[in-house]
Structure 1
Amino acid sequence: MDASENLAGEMLEVDAFRRLFPLRFYERHLLESIRPDARPLGKARDTTVALGGVAFADGSALVKTGHTTMLADIKMEIITPSVGSRDEASLAIDFHMPPICSPLIRPGRPAEVAAIISKQLTDAIVSIHSHSHVLNRQDVYCLDADGSLFDAALLSAVAAFSHLHIPAISVNDDGRVVAVSEEEVESNLVKEPFNQSTRKLKLSCMPFSLTCILHKKHILADPTGEEESVMESFVTVVLDLSGQLVSFNKPGGPVLAYTSAVQDCIALTRQRVKELQNILNDAIADMELD
Structure 2
Amino acid sequence: MEVDAFRRLFPLRFHEHDLLESIHPDVRKLRKARDTTLALALANIGCTTMLAAIKMEVMTPTTESPDEGCIVIDFHMPLICSPIVRPGRPAEAALVISKQLSDTILSSGMINFKELSFVSGKAAWMAYLDIYSLDADGALFDVALLAVVAAFSHFYLPLNFCVAMQIPVVSLNDDGRVVVVSEEDGGKLKCELVNKGKRKLKLSSVPFSLTYILHKNYILAYLTTVEESIMETLVTVVLDSSFQLVSLYKPGGLVLAYASAI
TM-score class, shorter:
0.7 to 0.9
Q: Which residue of 2 aligns with 1:267?
A: none
Q: Percent identity?
A: 63
Aligned 8 A contact 1:41 1:220 in 2: yes
Q: Which residue of 2 aligns with 1:137?
A: 128
Distance in 2 of aligned mates of 1:86 and 1:252: 38
Q: Which residue of 2 aligns with 1:62?
A: 42
Aligned 8 A contact 1:79 1:177 in 2: no
Bigger relative contact order, structure 1 or 2 (CA pairs below 8 A, ≥6 apart)? 2
- The normalised TM-score by structure 2 is 0.83
Distance in 2 of aligned mates of 1:87 and 1:224: 43
* Residues 42/196 of structure 1: CA separation in 2 closer, same or farther (3 Å cut): farther
Q: Counterparts in 2 of 1:186-197, with a 5 A limit?
A: 187-189=187-189, 191-196=192-197
Aligned 8 A contact 1:80 1:176 in 2: no
1:128 aligns with 2:117: no
Aligned 8 A contact 1:50 1:62 in 2: yes
1:44 aligns with 2:40: no
Counterpart of 1:121 in structure 2: which amino acid? L
* Segments ≥4 residues shifted beyond 4 Å: 86-89
Distance in 1 of aligned mates of 2:69 and 2:9: 49
**Shift of residue 258, structure 1, vs aligned partner:** 2.0
Q: Which runs of 5+ in 1 are unaligned?
A: 1-11, 52-60, 263-290
Over the aligned positions, Cα root-mean-square deviation in angstroms equals 2.1
**Shift of residue 154, structure 1, vs aligned partner:** 1.1
The aligned length equals 240
Counterpart of 2:53 in structure 1: which amino acid? D
Aligned 8 A contact 1:162 1:201 in 2: no
* Residues 257/33 of structure 1: CA separation in 2 closer, same or farther (3 Å cut): farther
Aligned 8 A contact 1:80 1:177 in 2: no
Q: Which moved more, 1:168-177 or 1:132-141?
A: 168-177
Which structure has more helix as a fraction of its residues?
1
Counterpart of 1:234 in structure 2: which amino acid? L
Q: Which runs of 5+ in 2 are unaligned?
A: 118-123, 155-164
Q: Which residue of 2 aligns with 1:228?
A: 228
Q: Which moved more, 1:153-162 or 1:25-34?
A: 25-34
Instruction: Give deviations 1:19-77, integer Å, cap 9, x for gaps.
Output: 232212211121232212232323331111121xxxxxxxxx11111111111111101
Q: Which residue of 2 aligns with 1:79?
A: 59
Distance in 1 of aligned mates of 2:79 and 2:11: 25
Counterpart of 2:147 in structure 1: which amino acid? S
Aligned 8 A contact 1:125 1:158 in 2: no
Which structure has more strand as a fraction of its residues?
2
Distance in 1 of aligned mates of 2:30 and 2:188: 60
Q: Which residue of 1 aligns with 2:182?
A: 181
Instruction: Give deviations 1:154-179, integer Å, cap 9, x for gaps.
Output: 11111101114321122333444332
Q: Secondary structure at the match of 2:28?
A: coil
Counterpart of 1:19 in structure 2: which amino acid? R
Q: Counterparts in 2 of 1:138-287, with a 5 A limit?
A: 138-163=129-154, 164-185=165-186, 187-189=187-189, 191-196=192-197, 198=199, 200-262=200-262
**Shift of residue 149, structure 1, vs aligned partner:** 0.8
**Shift of residue 86, structure 1, vs aligned partner:** 6.0
